[in-house]
Amino acid sequence: MRPHLSFRRSGKNAGTAFLQQNRINLHPLLFKQNQQAFLEEVIPHEVSHLLVWTLFGRVKPHGNEWQSIMIEVFGCEAKTTHSFDIKAVTNTVAYSCDCSEHALSMRRHKSIITGTRYRCRKCNTELSQN
């Protein structure tokens, strides 16, 4: 049976496969801005998740089974993330550490305001708002 396709906001995710529901959710704004890439990369990525679930059950999300389907069935590179510009679709706040800049979600920003502290995974310094 063909999967149900929905267009709902999904934060930074270009797409999400809901395995047990046989449903794929695509980010409507990212889709509008990157239609060809969605057809060539995102949809095969998510359909591969559904196929792996149907054929193999519960396995690693981007494991050997998924990679095999991406390469052999769809002829796609088995990339696990997209490289779309998400600035226009996400509300972020600029933070920095000693080694780089970080775009934190509004949820994390609000957590910092209420006392949570975040550290950079590379340099281990506390993030501060720019």
Residue 111, judged by CB atoms within 10 A of its CB (0-12, 13-18, 19+), counts as: middle
**Active-site annotation holds for 46:** yes
Q: Is 113 helix (H, G, I), strand (E, B) or coil?
A: helix
Distance of CA 57 to the CA centre of its chain: 21
Tokens of 74: 């769809």
Catalytic residue among 41, 46, 72, 126: 46
Question: What is d(CA 45, CA 13) in angstroms, rounded to the nearest whole number?
Answer: 12
- Identify whether the C-beta of residue 24 lies closer than 8 Å to the C-beta of residue 15: yes
Give the distance between the most distant pair of CA atoms in the chain.
51
Instruction: Single out the residue of 41, 46, 50 nearest to residue 10, CA to CA.
Output: 46
Could you give the residue numbers annotated as active site?
46
